Amino acid sequence: MNRRQFVHTGAAAYASQLAAQTKKRVGLIGTGWYGKCDLLRLVQVAPVEVVSLCDVDKRMLAEAAEIVASRQVSKNKPRTFSDYREMLNQKDLDIVLIATPDHWHALPMIAAAKAGIDIYVQKPISVDIVEGQAMLAAARKYKRVVQVGTQRRSTPHLVEARDRFLKTGMLGKIGYVDICCYYHMRARNNPPDTAPPEHLDYEAWTGPAPMRPYNELVHPRRWRAFMEYGNGIIGDMCIHMLDMVRWMADLGWPTSVSSSGGILIDKASKSNISDTQTATFNFPEFPVVWTHRTYGHAPDPQYPWAATFYGEKGTLQCSVNGYDFKPFGAGQAVSRKVVYELARYPEDEMEPALERHVAPAIRHHMLDFLGAIEKRTKPVADIEQGHISTASCILANLSLQLGRSLRWDQARQQVVGDAEANRLLARPYRKPWLHPDPATV
Query: pLDDT tens-digit profile of 192-222?
Result: 999 999 999 999 999 999 999 999 999 999 9
Q: How confident is the model at residue 17 (pLDDT cuts 50, 70, 90)?
A: low
| Integer CA distances (angstroms), 294 to 179, 282, 392, in order | 15, 24, 21
Mind listing the pLDDT tens digit for each residue in 292-317? 999 999 999 999 999 999 999 999 99
Beta bridge partners of 262: 276
pLDDT number for residue 22: 76
Model confidence at 16: pLDDT above 90? no
pLDDT for residue 20 is more than 80: no
Name the residue with higher pLDDT: 13 or 252.
252
Sequence-distant (≥ 6) Cβ neighbours of residue 102 within 8 angstroms = 122, 124, 126, 127, 229, 230, 231, 235
Of residues 353 and 163, which shows the higher confidence score?
163
Output the pTM of the full model. Answer: 0.95
Mean pLDDT of the chain: 95
pLDDT band at 37 (very low <50, low <70, confident <90, very high): very high
Residue 351 has pLDDT above 60, yes or no: yes
- Quickly state the pLDDT bin for 437 (edges 50, 70, 90): very high
With b for 16 or more beta-carbon neighbours within 10 A and e for fewer, the 65-85 pattern comes to: bebbeebbeeeebbebbeebe
Report the amino acid identity of residue 409: D
Taken in order 25, 381, 350, 339, the sign of the CA dihedral is negative
Q: In what order do the strands lie in the sheet with 256-262?
A: 334-337, 322-327, 314-319, 305-311, 174-181, 287-293, 276-282, 256-262, 406-409, 414-415
User: What does the pLDDT look like over 365-419, one tens digit per residue?
Assistant: 999 999 999 999 999 999 999 999 999 999 999 999 999 999 999 999 999 999 9
Q: Output the pLDDT for position 6.
A: 45
For the segment 142-160, what is each residue's pLDDT rounded down to a tens digit? 999 999 999 999 999 999 9
The answer to whether the CB of 283 falls within 8 A of the CB of 254 is yes
Which residue type occupies 374?
E
Segment 322-328 mean pLDDT: 97
The pLDDT value recorded for residue 118 is 98
Measured CA to CA, the distance from residue 159 to residue 138 in angstroms comes to 29
Report the DSSP beta bridge partners of residue 305.
181
Residue percentage of the chain with pLDDT more than 70 = 95
CA 242 to CA 336: how far, in whole Å?
21
Which of 5, 2, 65 has the alpha carbon at shortest distance from 31?
A: 65
**Top CATH class, 155-191+201-345+383-423:** alpha beta
How do the domains of the chain map onto residue ranges?
3-152, 155-191+201-345+383-423
| Minimum mean pLDDT range among 12-21, 334-343, 430-439 | 12-21
Flag whether pLDDT at 54 surpasses 70.
yes
The topology under which CATH files domain 3-152 is Rossmann fold (3.40.50)
Indicate the pLDDT class of residue 330, thresholds 50, 70 and 90: confident
Q: How confident is the model at residue 329 (pLDDT cuts 50, 70, 90)?
A: confident
* Rounded Cα gap, residues 406 and 421, in angstroms: 8
- Predicted pLDDT at 10: 52
18 pLDDT more than 80? no
